[in-house]
A = this chain, B = another copy of it.
Amino acid sequence: MDSVAVIGASMTQFGQRDAWIRELLAEAGQACLDDAGVSPDAIEHLYVSNMASGEFEGQTGVPNALAHDLSALPAYTARIDQTSSSGGAGIYAAWQSVASGASDMTLLVGGEKMTHRTTAEATDVIASLTHPVEYKHGVTLPSFAGLTARLYLDTYDAPRESLGKVAVKNHKNGVDNPHAQFRKEVDLDTVLDSPIVADPLRLYDFCPITDGSAALMFCPESVAREYTDEYVVVSGIGGATDTHVVHERADPTTMGGVVNSSEIAYEMADLEPDDIDVAELHDMFTILEFLQSEDLGFFEKGEGWKAVEDGVTDRDGDLPINTSGGLKSKGHPLGASGVAQAYEIYAQLMGEAGDRQVDAETGLACNVGGFGNCVTTTIMEARR
């Protein structure tokens, strides 16, 4: 079968944006058309990754608005929502549209507009994804993160400082990402002395509330070659759920959705964890980078923290993780985040990552919905 190629990518400035969801999506969508050199009338399918434009902004039907704004009519459109992994789910939808033969040119645009709402309002929208019983008892995703971090530190004898070093590393990477929300280094003391949010996690263990959008252009590899000699292929992709009720998980320090989705992706790509050169993980909370780096098979269970301590995941380490700055410093506009992860991998594989550039032929993006309730893992490889 013809592989599914990515021939263009874009992302907007992430942060506090004076633009509504429609404008953000159109900005990334147009930039992706330009980057790919594709005319809007070539688009056959157009997917929008977005969790909650209706709740955040009272605006629904955004895929139709985007088709209109990009002059992409009569392209088929739909919105893909998988909470904070909507972007990864959008990648899967776009991949399927091409792999099934339904579309020879699919544009995926992910986006979210959040900062016009208070943090409490935004957190409440996000918390609506939890099980109603958990929600009723006031359990939010940050509180799950605190409980999980404590369990991880206790179980694997990891120092509190190791979590802080994730934030330090990712902020350092974000300095070189022109699209990142926070382009400033933080030192370990600043992280460890920041206000407690969910003990033992503090403010700098959490990603911010963000506005932003990102886009990718997919087509069959045979079509890609009509546009360019250098592109990326999606060589493996998989998705999986874990329990909707977090306390039903046998071991809350293992993310079943990461394990299962990556197994599917590795098998499809015929690759092993060792073959991955660069990865973007879903560091919505610092603790999640440890869990995913282990559950993806990069490190043994309980040893992810050591890799960070030893600099293995630094930009000049053996396996750079979150060269973009991660959700932590780049920001986390829900529906955009998974697409922006793939944007970073695409940029790294294409040699377009500027000051963040690492040496990589194969990259992986892991996008997590809820507290691991659903996960999409995507493996991409450079083709020249």
Binding site for B on A (CB under 8 A): 1, 22, 45-46, 51-52, 54-55, 58-61, 63-65, 67-68, 72-83, 89, 92-93, 95-97, 99-102, 125, 128-132, 237-245, 256-257, 260-261, 369-370, 373-374, 376
Contacts and interface: CB of A to CB of B under 8 A. Distances in A.
A68 B261 contact: no
B76 A239 contact: yes
Nearest to A80: B78
B260 A74 contact: yes
A40 to B, nearest CB: 12
A76 B243 contact: no
Nearest to A72: B241
A12 to B, nearest CB: 20
A61 B99 contact: no
B244 A76 contact: no
Contact of A244 (B67, B130, B131, B369): B67
Identical subunits present: 2
Given A61-B128, A102-B99, A374-B63, A241 B54 contact: no
Contact of A60 (B51, B78, B96): B51
A73 B243 contact: yes
Given A99-B101, A100-B95, A128 B60 contact: yes
Given A64-B244, A96-B102, A241-B75, A128 B59 contact: yes
Nearest to A53: B128
A79 B76 contact: no
A102 B128 CA distance: 29
Contacts of A58: 128
A335 to B, nearest CB: 12
A128 to B, nearest CB: 5
A80 B82 contact: no
A64 B374 contact: yes
A68 B243 contact: yes
A214 to B, nearest CB: 18
B83 A80 contact: no
Contacts of A245: 68
Contacts of A257: 74
A26 to B, nearest CB: 12
A102 B96 CA distance: 7
Contacts of A101: 1, 99
Nearest to A48: B81
Contacts of A89: 78
Contact of A256 (B74, B76, B78, B130): B74
